[in-house]
Amino acid sequence: MLPNQQEVFVSYIYGLCDSRARKSLWTDIIYCANRFKKVPWTLLGDLNVTGFSHEHSTNCRVTKAMEEFNSTIRAAELEDLRTSGLSFTWNNMRSGTTAISKKLDRALGNWNWFYCFGDSFGHSYNPGISDHSPISIQLMHHIQSSGRPFKFLNFWADHDDFLPIVRQEWTKIYDGSPLRQVQMKLKSLKSRLKCLSTRPDTLVANLRLTLMKVQSDLDDNPEDADLKSLEVRLRHDFSISVKKEEAFFKQKSRIQWLKEGDANTTFFHRMAKMR
């Protein structure tokens, strides 16, 4: 149910790699199409098959699996949503002549979806460290803002310059009482620490933008070995940085529930704003 009380139905798809195993998925899609024929219905996700020859970077052949997929889409009376972002949504993580890219992820809608949300569109994001591109359906744009009060961030302690900076500031001599001297040292230390980076998500954002640019270039040149090598390095740096970002949001939200590998940054950011 949308904020305007409009009822919609959404199906999230994951198609198996085996074409024979996907036949049950095609049957389910046709069943749901009949079930949701009179309401706005969209389905999106990884269907694990291309629909057209141009959705494969190296193979223009129309396969039996593609024919079965398109037959299902026609029977279900579904259409692709207008899309933006990457053309290919999956790659085999290889370089050179063995590199393969395909459009395996898509968003589709029935007639009622297009009637109610004709301006909606699907967007394929850069894959980051995954081999698949996330896809979302855009209905409107949201603008968010946030403040950044100063506090000691735990990830600073892992920085190579952290101990040298603390040592330099603590050896400085100030006039006044011992309490005044500590106050002045902390004040000076504060400005030095802020130079280390007050938020790791800034670095993550910069790395993400760089990685997105490289992956967009790879989308046009899947066989470029230099671009693929650069993407591998950026993926590594990005993986390390997102762990620091995760630790930052965990500290800011003061929630200990976070498990290793469970990076619910949206949830923790929302809780941090509530604090």
CB 219 within 8 A of CB 87: yes
Res 239: pLDDT: 82
Q: Are residues 223 and 181 in the same domain?
A: no
CATH of the domain at 58: 3.60.10.10
Res 199: pLDDT: 66
Residue 1 lies in a domain: no
Helix, strand, coil abundance in the chain, percent, nearest 5: 45, 15, 40
Q: Are residues 165 and 239 in the same domain?
A: no
What tokens were used for 85? 């972002």
Q: Are residues 132 and 107 in the same domain?
A: yes
Half-sphere exposure at residue 47, Cβ-oriented, CA atoms within 13 angstroms:
27
Q: Are residues 68 and 185 in the same domain?
A: no
Q: Are residues 212 and 98 in the same domain?
A: no
Task: Calculate Rg over the CA atoms of the chain.
Answer: 25
Residue 37 lies in a domain: yes
Counting the structural domains of the chain, the total is 3
Res 222: pLDDT: 86
Residue 4 lies in a domain: no
Q: Are residues 125 and 25 in the same domain?
A: yes
Residue 38 lies in a domain: yes
Walking along the chain (275 residues) 10 residues at a time, the average pLDDT comes out as 82 89 92 93 94 90 92 92 92 90 94 88 91 87 46 75 90 81 86 74 80 87 87 85 74 52 56 54
Q: Are residues 55 and 123 in the same domain?
A: yes
Res 237: pLDDT: 82
Res 144: pLDDT: 44
Domain enclosing residue 209, as ranges: 200-274
Q: Are residues 182 and 117 in the same domain?
A: no
Which residues does 236 contact at the CB level (< 8 Å), separation at least 6? none
Res 268: pLDDT: 59
Q: Are residues 132 and 17 in the same domain?
A: yes
Q: Are residues 133 and 112 in the same domain?
A: yes
